[in-house]
Amino acid sequence: WEDKVPLIERSLSMLLDLGLYEGTRFYEWIGELLDAKGVRTFGDLVYPDYADDPRFRSRLQVVASDVTSHELLVLPRDAEKLGVEPDDLEVALAVRMSMSIPIFFEPVRHENPKTGDTHIIVDGGMLSNFPVWLFDCEDQIPDWPTFGMLLVEPKPSVSVAARLPRPERRKDQAHGPRAVVDYVKSLAQTMMEAHDRRYVEQSSYARTIPIPTLGVGTTEFDLPADRALALYESGRSAADRFLGSWDFEAYIAEFRTGKSHSRRDTLVASMDETDPAVVSV
């Protein structure tokens, strides 16, 4: 009902439901698409060759953040923490959990059938915005590469404030419910936009396809068709360039044979060399 109260509907929705927009229609829509492909639960996505290995058992893994227990969830392998068997978890529900950008969308409230506890679950990007490590095998040479696709700005050094749209404000919006809404939306936008590609570790960035966003923001949901197509072509072109020069053997030799690489250490070292006032901590 709060969504139908004029002027203050969004403020009430945020206060009562912890989000500005519902995710029900998205959940129904993605469920319909999956049903058309014969997929309902993660049991429909089991990879037979790795059925006994929970790390690779599912063809799809979804990341979400459980703010109740303060931990990252990798679904379906962590489904038991929610009181659900991994193969019984709905794929559409997991995706709905993962797309719940804090503040913008209402979180998923999941009641654990075994404990009775309620888990409040939001976008996994809050804790891990680039989980390229999901399919990694530790302490051994991988049989195949894992690629990440990272949406990036052409100039990642430009501040987040310069990249986000500046909201129009009237004098009567400086205080009150609307001001609170604008404030928390800005917090959420900053959190989701501020992941800087300069701090992606070298071993991860070496297998990452950086896709220019063309100025499209994380929460820009009303893209016209021409901009959506341009973004699609941006991704396609980036993939073509990356795969055209990819060398799996060279990647193995450089990053999976015990060598130490750290973009953070490299960055700090370069700062120390150029600025004697910089102190490493």
Tens of pLDDT along 170-215? 444 444 445 555 656 665 555 555 544 445 667 778 899 989 988 8
Would 15 be classed as within a structural domain? yes
The two beta strands, 19-21 and 103-105, are parallel
Q: Does some domain include residue 271?
A: no
The pLDDT mean for the chain works out to 77
Q: Is a pLDDT exceeding 50 seen at residue 39?
A: yes
Where does 48-143 have alpha helices with state H? 91-98
Residues 163 and 100 in one domain: no
Q: Which of the residue ranges 91-95, 109-113, 202-206, 273-277 would you say has the lowest mean pLDDT?
A: 273-277
Residue 268 lies in a domain: no
* Domain of residue 212, residue span: 148-256
DSSP-assigned beta bridge partners for residue 152: 212
Task: Provide the token pair at 254.
Answer: 């450089």
Which pLDDT band holds residue 236 (cuts at 50, 70, 90)?
very high
Q: Please indicate, yes or no, whether residues 100 and 205 belong to a single structural domain of this protein.
A: no
Q: Are residues 98 and 191 in the same domain?
A: no
Q: Cβ distance 50 to 56 under 8 Å?
A: yes
Number of domains in the chain: 2
**Other beta carbons within 10 Å of 193:** 19
Q: How far apart are CA 2 and CA 17, in angstroms?
A: 9
Q: 79 and 180: one domain?
A: no
